[in-house]
Amino acid sequence: MTTTAGRARGAATWRNWSGTATSHAQHHLRPRDTADVVRVVRWAAREGLRVRAVGGGHSFTAAAVTDGVLLDLDRLAGVEGVEPQPGGGALVTVGAGTRLHALNRELAARGLAMENLGDIDRQSVAGAVSTGTHGTGARLGGLATQVVGVRVVGSDGTVREADAGRDPALFQAARLGLGTVGILVALTLRVVPAFTLRAREEVHDLADVLDRLEGPDGWVATTDHVDLYWFPFTHRALVKRNHRAEPGSGPSLAVRRRLEDEVLQNGAFELTNRVAAAVPRAVPALNAVAARALTDRTYCAPSADVFVTRRRVVFREMEYAVPRAALRDVVGEIDAWLRRTREPVPFPVEVRFTAADDVWLSTAHRRESAYVAVHQYHRMPHERYFDAVEAIVAQVDGRPHWGKLHGLDAERLAGLYPRFEDFRAVRAEHDPTGMFRNDYTDRVLGPVG
Ligand SMILES: Cc1cc2nc3c(=O)[nH]c(=O)nc-3n(C[C@H](O)[C@H](O)[C@H](O)COP(=O)(O)OP(=O)(O)OC[C@H]3O[C@@H](n4cnc5c(N)ncnc54)[C@H](O)[C@@H]3O)c2cc1C
């Protein structure tokens, strides 16, 4: 093509981080700015090509895959404007392709921070928001709830600004819509003054943890951010409780990085997984060793450093939001299934929490949610495990993370989201020809119109 849009790489094979999705787009383009995006969209409309934006490629699903034009928005990055707010914090407008790690650095330099984050920072802001990425904290919503405005290029090439006052329906659909109502080129985020977190990690008996989570004095209600990891075939769970604190109210992060990264995420954990793949029946013993290596610790650091970890062991993941009240039964059923089948699963199950919110396609839409995430090493089969967990969470109307593996389709999802049809109407209005569709969006959102 002859557009000025960045470096036209021509046809190229693109793969996501986990290797679960591959795209053979006819064109892989890197627009320089919004005007470039508009040119590409208009050209694609004339040529009858489909267009998908891609961020960090960290979705496990084929959400970003296309056979038409793959738009890599890495060059639409950086802070465009900062509007301080009364009482501290600010509204910060950033390019849609800004990676979370770059955003965190930019915010820290200005004495600001995201109020909550997930557990990695490799994603782009647009990609993370578009799939409902979340962290943990029962008083806080996912990343999309921190978005107060979007700038989006529609399938007709028009650039629109939307927020709660201006075109609120487009705002709702564009901020968490899998890129199906347009290409996000900028987002305005509500951010808070920079803060320190004091993290307390403790190893407990799983049954104990489940007893202590709920109630007015329970960990979920009394902790800013609570996260737990439970190793299948063991009774041990690592509970992380992070509280806002004064700087220096605990040892620094360096102490924690070494052990936790090794056991839960990296070096030794890769080795454990390789042994598990070679000798699956050794998994219960391996998990027992890994769970015993976990110890209690306390540390203190700027918020983003506590939220974010490194993930070098490649895995597959499925994550479901379930009503908080259903968590105990769901974990109990997963435990029972694993013990019955001895399915080899060397990865811990992770549980997190968020507040209910009003974002139409948010997994926490109008529901206080517990998130149950199941992982499998990339060299081991995940299908039987994920299918079993999916059947368990189906009984409590679990909603799957839009960026992680799952088997639901539009018919089932429509019954789980009260505003599903409103979303589809906005999508049909802004993309009547289906320029932004792909096979994954057809499955989970249905055809356009
Ligand atoms: C190791 C790992 C850890 C993770 N941790 C968490 C976590 O803690 N919490 C959590 O909730 N999730 C987590 N995830 C999931 C991840 O946050 C989401 O899948 C997220 O979408 C990835 O962002 P990305 O920039 O890589 O987006 P991509 O995967 O590149 O794209 C995701 C979707 O967004 C669309 N999109 C991207 N850019 C735009 C744009 N500019 N305009 C319109 N649409 C766009 C794409 O078309 C696609 O549909 C994790 C994933 C991995 C691999």
The two structure tokens encoding residue 361: 């396609």
Q: Examine the domain organization and report whether 241 and 173 are in the same domain.
A: no
Residues 17-39 have a mean pLDDT of: 96
Q: Examine the domain organization and report whether 114 and 189 are in the same domain.
A: yes
Q: What pLDDT score does 312 carry? A: 83
Indicate whether residue 128 lines ligand 1 (CB < 6 A): yes
Q: What pLDDT score does 257 carry? A: 60
Range of the domain at 26: 12-72
Q: Examine the domain organization and report whether 111 and 122 are in the same domain.
A: yes
- DSSP, residue by residue, 331-372: HHHHHHHHHHH-----SPEEEEEE--B--TT-TTBTS-EEEE
Q: Let me know if residue 449 belongs to a domain.
A: no
Q: What pLDDT score does 205 carry? A: 96
pTM of the predicted protein model: 0.95
Question: Domain end: 151, 174, 194, which one?
Answer: 194
Indicate whether residue 123 lines ligand 1 (CB < 6 A): yes
Q: Let me know if residue 424 belongs to a domain.
A: no
Residue 280 φ/ψ, nearest 5 degrees: -55, -30
Q: Examine the domain organization and report whether 366 and 383 are in the same domain.
A: yes
Q: What pLDDT score does 268 carry? A: 81
pLDDT digits (tens, 9 = 90+) for 71-120: 999 999 999 999 999 989 999 999 999 999 999 999 999 999 999 999 99
Q: What pLDDT score does 254 carry? A: 65
Q: Which DSSP letter does residue 233 get?
A: T
Q: Examine the domain organization and report whether 101 and 85 are in the same domain.
A: yes
Q: Let me know if residue 204 belongs to a domain.
A: yes
**Structural domains in the chain (count):** 3
Q: What pLDDT score does 249 carry? A: 76
Q: Examine the domain organization and report whether 392 and 251 are in the same domain.
A: yes
Does residue 285 contact residue 306 with C-beta atoms inside 8 Å?
no
Which atom, in ligand 1's list, is nearest to the CA of 133? 11
Q: Let me know if residue 436 belongs to a domain.
A: no
Q: Examine the domain organization and report whether 105 and 216 are in the same domain.
A: no
Alpha-carbon distance of 259 to 253, in angstroms, equals 11
Q: What pLDDT score does 187 carry? A: 98
Q: Find the 60 Cα to ligand 1 centroid distance in Å.
A: 8
Q: Let me know if residue 182 belongs to a domain.
A: yes
Q: Smallest Cα–Cα separation from 193: which of 87, 112, 103, 271?
A: 112
Q: Let me know if residue 308 belongs to a domain.
A: yes
Which residues are CB-contacts of 369 (< 8 A; sequence separation ≥ 6)?
A: 321, 322, 323, 324, 353, 354, 356, 363
Q: State what percent of residues in the chain have pLDDT above 90.
A: 87
Which atom, in ligand 1's list, is nearest to the CA of 99? 25
Across the chain, mean pLDDT equals 93
Q: What pLDDT score does 277 carry? A: 94
Q: Examine the domain organization and report whether 292 and 391 are in the same domain.
A: yes
- Is 394 buried (19+), middle (13-18) or exposed (0-12) by CB count in 10 A? middle
Question: Domain end: 194, 215, 241, which one?
Answer: 194
User: CATH number for the domain including 284?
Assistant: 3.40.462.10
Centre a 10 Å sphere on the Cβ of residue 14 and count the other Cβ atoms it contains. 18
Alpha-carbon distance of 426 to 170, in angstroms, equals 6
Q: What pLDDT score does 261 carry? A: 60
Residue 3 has pLDDT above 50, yes or no: no
> Whose C-alpha lies nearest to ligand 1, atom 33?
127
Q: Examine the domain organization and report whether 152 and 178 are in the same domain.
A: yes
Question: Domain end: 173, 194, 215, which one?
Answer: 194
Alpha-carbon distance of 225 to 26, in angstroms, equals 43
pLDDT digits (tens, 9 = 90+) for 138-189: 999 999 999 999 999 999 999 999 999 999 999 999 999 999 999 999 999 9
Q: For residue 64, what pLDDT band results from cuts at 50, 70 and 90?
A: very high
Does residue 241 contact residue 200 with C-beta atoms inside 8 Å?
yes
Q: Find the 233 Cα to ligand 1 centroid distance in Å.
A: 30
Residue 4 has pLDDT above 60, yes or no: no
Q: Examine the domain organization and report whether 53 and 84 are in the same domain.
A: no
Q: Examine the domain organization and report whether 236 and 333 are in the same domain.
A: yes
Q: Examine the domain organization and report whether 134 and 45 are in the same domain.
A: no
Q: What are residue 82's DSSP bridge partners?
A: 92
Alpha-carbon distance of 43 to 415, in angstroms, equals 37
User: CATH number for the domain including 109?
Assistant: 3.30.465.10
